[in-house]
């Protein structure tokens, strides 16, 4: 059995049970026979793309939810273990705390900005949002012709489909967390 077959078997059974559905009910909703669904859940049958399509339509779930390896938990790295996403020596560092994954629609970064320094970011793409929280310090966020001051403990969100700039306007190092997502 391939990893994909294992994922489908595990996820099909998990999703069906979470919806309190029997195999008979699922067969009726999908047009896939009860015996075939049972074989898929046990991992003894390799479903066709057409069969997978019928199953996700019947369950009303995205295709990805059925095929991807479900991570039950993920330990976020400490700052010392986190990979550096981008840095400019003496000015800023951005760490990847939780990378993008097809099974979830967000990613989390932590940034450190030196006093008086700024970090610039291009668009994160169409229909993206960024949720910013200032952990320590004070930051001014520049979006096109607007600016917003964000102090320690405060948060804001904005459409991140455009260039934006963070500038540390405090006396010490500013630490920020940034959650980037496709959901508002």
Rounded mean pLDDT, 140-155: 95
CATH numbers and ranges of domains, the chain: 3-67 (1.10.260.40), 84-181 (2.60.120.10)
Higher pLDDT, 166 or 80: 166
Structure tokens at 58: 């019947």
The tens digit of pLDDT for each residue in 59-98 reads 988 887 888 776 655 566 678 888 888 999 999 999 988 8
This prediction's pTM: 0.63
d(CA 69, CA 4) in angstroms, rounded, equals: 8
Comparing C-alpha atoms, which of 10, 19, 17 is closest to residue 70? 10
The tens digit of pLDDT for each residue in 20-53 reads 999 999 999 999 999 999 999 999 988 999 999 9
What backbone torsions phi and psi does residue 155 show, to the nearest 5 degrees?
A: -135, 160
The tens digit of pLDDT for each residue in 118-143 reads 999 999 889 999 999 999 999 999 99
CA 94 to each of CA 16, 82, 130: distance values in angstroms, whole numbers, following the listed order? 40, 10, 14
């Amino acid at each position: 059995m391939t990893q994909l077959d294992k994922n489908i078997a595990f996820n099909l059974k998990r999703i069906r049970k979470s919806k309190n559905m029997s195999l008979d009910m699922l067969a009726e909703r999908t047009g896939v026979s009860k015996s075939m669904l049972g074989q898929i859940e046990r991992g003894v049958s390799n479903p066709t793309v057409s069969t997978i399509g019928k199953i996700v339509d019947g369950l009303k779930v995205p295709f990805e939810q059925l095929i991807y390896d479900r991570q039950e938990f993920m330990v976020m790295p400490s700052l010392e273990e986190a990979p550096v996403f981008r840095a400019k020596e003496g000015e800023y560092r951005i760490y990847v705390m939780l990378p993008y994954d097809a099974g979830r629609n967000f990613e989390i970064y932590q940034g450190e900005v030196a006093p008086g320094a700024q970090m610039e970011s291009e668009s994160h793409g169409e229909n993206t949002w960024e949720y910013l929280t200032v952990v320590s310090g004070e930051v001014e966020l520049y979006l096109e012709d607007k600016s917003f001051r964000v102090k320690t403990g405060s948060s804001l969100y904005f459409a991140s489909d455009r260039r934006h700039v963070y500038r540390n306007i405090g006396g010490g190092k500013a630490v920020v967390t940034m959650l980037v997502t496709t959901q508002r």
